[in-house]
Amino acid sequence: MLTAVRLKLMLREPEMVFWVFVFPVLMALTLGIAFQNREDEPMTVAVRNGAAANALVTTLAATDELEVITTRETNELGLLRDGRAHLIVVPGTPVTYRFDPARPESRLTRLLVDRTLSDTTDRGHGSEARLEEISTPGSRYIDWLIPGLLGMNIMGTGMWGVGFAIVVARSRKLLKRMVATPMRRSHFLASLVLARLAFLGLEMLALLGFAWWAFEVRTEGSVAGLIGVALAGALSFGGIGLLTASRARTIEGVSGIMNVVMVPMWVCSGVFFAVTNFPDAAQPFMRLLPLTALIDALRGVMLNGESILGVGPELGLMVAWGTGTFLLAVRTFRWQ
């Protein structure tokens, strides 16, 4: 009987049903889509533009497993870093392979390219190819992961910090009590965002400081640019947090909404693996997500040394999200 009652109580909790049954299925579905074709995915090799490039491209393209693109020298590191190319081939005598030996795909691609070229003797007079191993900090998975985690953290604390505080005050009737004083409502909302921004500094310091100390993760771009991007992100998610909490009366209610908003972004915004893993049709939508914009901008600054202007589109998208949700939240806000 006790067991029966316990089961009934569990099934009558809608959130429970969601997390137990619906959520794992959805996760499996999305991750399945993201990783479905990994094995038959071609290895991507980028050939540096130059005199002998065309011949190399033709030879390499004849191999089914290889996808060949051309590149300029300045873009090569970026391609390797983001996983858009696994190996760079620099034409010459002998040819040079630039790659990151820490990545299995890169080593595989090198072997495949080397075999292809030696078969066709385009490698250059039977001699050995020159190997240039690239393993500068900034090309490792941890370097790529830290901006993702930072972005995820800015989203999480932004939404919880703002949303939770509001709903707690509302459910305790404290919000109503404060409305009954001469307190300016705009001041109340502004205080939430300002407290958020103050906290953001500590948050970044903790995560980036640890990453620097433990993994020697460094930023290529300026610290000011990094702070600028983080501020835009925090404002954006402050607005979204405000909106998610603008009507909810209970903690349970707002937790549900927050999860619905955040979980898809954890998966789809490239925190742990690149957005490029998803089908091409879905990517434009994923690029519109604020977390995608934040993480792309953070990676742009930290990995590619972009200036604050270089990540302008991402900043614009975040500001648009923040302003839009903020205005909507102010209109729909339930003060009592």
Partner 1 sequence: MGVPYWFSSMTRPSPSFDLALKCVDLVKRYGDLVAVDHLQLTVKRGECFGLLGPNGAGKTTTIEILEGLLAPDAGHVEVLGRRWGHDDDALRQRLGVHLQETQFDERLTVVETLRLFRSFYTTGQDITTVLDTLGLQSKTNTWVVKLSGGQKQRLAVGCALVGSPELLFLDEPTTGLDPQSRRQLWSVLKTFRETKGTILLTTHYMDEAEVLCDRVAIVDRGQVIALGTPKELIASLGAAQVIEFGVGGPDAAMRDALELKDTLERLPGVRTARRDGGLWQLSTTDLQLGLPALMRFAEAEQMAIDSVATHTATLEDVFVALTGKHLRDD
Binding site for partner 1 (CB under 8 A): 169, 172-174, 176-185, 330, 333-336
- The nearest distance, CB 255 to partner 1, in angstroms, is 19
Q: Is 71 helix (H, G, I), strand (E, B) or coil?
A: strand
- The nearest distance, CB 3 to partner 1, in angstroms, is 36
- The nearest distance, CB 243 to partner 1, in angstroms, is 14
Rounded Cα gap, residues 158 and 197, in angstroms: 9
Q: In terms of CB distance, is 115 or 173 closer to partner 1?
A: 173
| Residue in 99, 92, 79 with CA at minimum distance from that of residue 53 | 92
The separation between CA 112 and the C-alpha centre of its own chain, rounded to angstroms, equals 30
Asked if 167 and 254 touch (Cβ cutoff 8 Å), the reply is: yes
| Residue in 290, 282, 286, 284 with CA at minimum distance from that of residue 316 | 290
User: Three-state SS across 94-126?
Assistant: CCEEEECCCCHHHHHHHHHHHHHHHHHCCCCCC
Q: In terms of CB distance, is 169 or 320 closer to partner 1?
A: 169
Q: In terms of CB distance, is 6 or 173 closer to partner 1?
A: 173
- In degrees rounded to 5, what are phi and psi of residue 261? -80, -40
- The nearest distance, CB 101 to partner 1, in angstroms, is 52
Rounded Cα gap, residues 175 and 167, in angstroms: 9
Q: In terms of CB distance, is 205 or 327 closer to partner 1?
A: 327
- The nearest distance, CB 203 to partner 1, in angstroms, is 20
Q: In terms of CB distance, is 18 or 188 closer to partner 1?
A: 188
